[in-house]
Structure 1
């Protein structure tokens, strides 16, 4: 499965480094992170990391294969 996460604001290199399994791009006032998510536990782990870092996830969606 592949997912896309849209996060408010621009992430610093250090914060983006907390998501080594995801690629990123900056679009307007958001950062888009995308990449493979192996299973439900991995997905919840990513969401927990966003929360732990105080990031606001604007949108999350599964990408077509």
Structure 2
């Protein structure tokens, strides 16, 4: 499975480093992370990391294979 996750604001390189399995790029007022998510546990782990780092998830969607 591949996911795209949009975060409110622009993440620093340090914060982006907390998600080494995901690539990222910046758009106006958002950081877009994307990449493979192996299973549901991985997805919930990502969400827990976002929450622990105080990041606000604006949108999350599964990308077509």
TM-score greater than 0.5 by the shorter chain = yes
Corresponding position: 1:11 with 2:23:
no
CA–CA separation in structure 2 for the residues paired with 1:15 and 1:23: 12
| Superposition map of 1:49-60 within 5 A | 49-60=49-60
Q: Tell me the TM-score normalised to structure 2 length.
A: 0.99
Q: Tell me the TM-score normalised to structure 1 length.
A: 0.99
CA–CA separation in structure 2 for the residues paired with 1:11 and 1:32: 9
Number of equivalences: 65
CA RMSD in angstroms, aligned pairs only? 0.3
| Cα offset, 1:58, TM superposition | 0.1
Corresponding position: 1:25 with 2:4:
no
Structure 2 residue runs without a partner (length 5+): none
Q: What residue number does 2:45 align with?
A: 45
- The runs of at least 4 aligned residues of structure 1 exceeding 3 Å deviation read none
